Structure 1
Amino acid sequence: MKRFSGKIGVEQGTRVLFSDFANDGVMWAGDGPREVRQAQTFSEPFAVAPMVMVSISMWDMDHKTNSRADISAENITESGFEIVFRTWSDTRVARIRADWMALGPLRDDDEWDVV
């Protein structure tokens, strides 16, 4: 986690979501709607749920079918989120790597509440 002015945090990462060509997995051998979810935990929690951006940084798809892909961040909380990749119809996806970045306010050690 990188801190800016002690109050804003930025964290980034990369993750291979699957390599289905190696074992004839559903993304490579299947058809119709398919989805993969991967949980990602931040190195330290944000003060509130941050803004998260996800992108595909590597894709390996069959050239004989249309390339259909949807990637997003869902279930974003202070401590993490899910990377969600979806495809559909006859698209054959061998593997996907996703890069992500989260930006949001951090807890300040000088701020505390007495209950």
Structure 2
Amino acid sequence: MSKELVIQLYQKQDRKRRRVLFDLFSDTIQLNASLRFIAGLINQELGQEEMVSEADVKYCRYYFSGKATSRPATISSAHRESKVPVGKKESGKEVSWTDPDDQNFNLNNPVKSKFSKR
């Protein structure tokens, strides 16, 4: 890839321009410097003023540096096996579940409302 390709992609506002920019200038984009400084370096190297913006550098850093691709994985089988089975406490005793349909919970409800039938 060449600098002329990046210039053509930016002039045509191609949607893959940032990916090509990162592929060509990845070392410069990942420098520990300000976004404005990095955008200035890239523009100076391309010979174009204000072609690459600070937002382009920020976008490339976020989406192409590898940090955004490390999304949280789903629950692995090892993690699922380490969980306590449903209905069991960690001590091994069974948990007694109550059925709200069997018991009258409205009698134990301390909240009173003008809409209640009491």
TM over 0.5: no
Question: What TM-score do you get using the length of structure 1 for normalisation?
Answer: 0.25
Higher relative contact order (CA 8 A, sep 6+): 1
Question: What TM-score do you get using the length of structure 2 for normalisation?
Answer: 0.25
